[in-house]
Amino acid sequence: MGLSLQRGSEAAGPSELLSDLVNSVSVALITTVDATGIMHTRQLPNTNSECCDDLWFLSSQDTPLIDEVRRNPKVLITYAHRATGTYLVVNGEAFVRNDPVRARHLWHPTLASWLPGGPDDPQLALLHVSVKSVEIWE
């Protein structure tokens, strides 16, 4: 069953539900489209606890993911809650932001396996996803 929520339309109930879901998933999937029109789906550690006006992620500059987002900001973020078989599909536009304070705020020691350079690495990329719509599927 699918429930579709346009941005801004969700009531308090669904929003809490969505935040709970986002909170319990440690690795999200991000789907981008490269310059040739091919879709790529990759894992991205989840650094969000609330859903969903904006999502923030940390990645690394010089990765194909960041290149693709710079060319084409349209992305899908998928949160799969495996225990309940619930999928949260977030449609949005992603932008690379320069905000070291926010990046440091998002940092968590478990990210070290993904981003060994740490929170102050100049190669760290802060990814901002401006959410257009959210769908939840069971």
Partner 1 sequence: LEHIMAQAESLATTDQVAPPWLAARTDRSVGPDAVARARTRAIELVDRDSASDRFPQRILSTVKHAWRWLAHNIRIALSTEQPVHHPLVPDPVGLRALIQHTRVALVTTRDRSGALHSEPMEASQRDFDGVIWFPASESAPVLERVRARAAVQLTYHDKHSNRCVVLDGIARVCDGTGRHATNRFIRVDVVSADAWD
Interface positions with partner 1 (CB under 8 A): 2, 29, 31, 33, 36-39, 41, 43, 72, 74-76, 78, 80, 82, 85, 87, 89, 91, 135, 137
Give the residue with the Cβ less far from partner 1, 28 or 103.
28
Question: Can you state the percent helix, strand and coil of the chain, rounding each to 5?
Answer: 25, 45, 35
CB of 102 vs partner 1, minimal distance in Å: 25
Give the residue with the Cβ less far from partner 1, 36 or 98.
36
CB of 61 vs partner 1, minimal distance in Å: 20
Give the residue with the Cβ less far from partner 1, 23 or 31.
31
Give the closest residue to 54 by CA, choosing from 17, 12, 97: 97
CB of 119 vs partner 1, minimal distance in Å: 24
CB of 131 vs partner 1, minimal distance in Å: 13
Distance CA 99, CA 89 (A): 26
Kindly list the distances between the CA atom of residue 8 and the CA atoms of 13, 38, 63, 85, 115, in Å, as whole numbers in the listed order. Answer: 13, 31, 32, 25, 33
56, 100 contact by CB (below 8 A): no
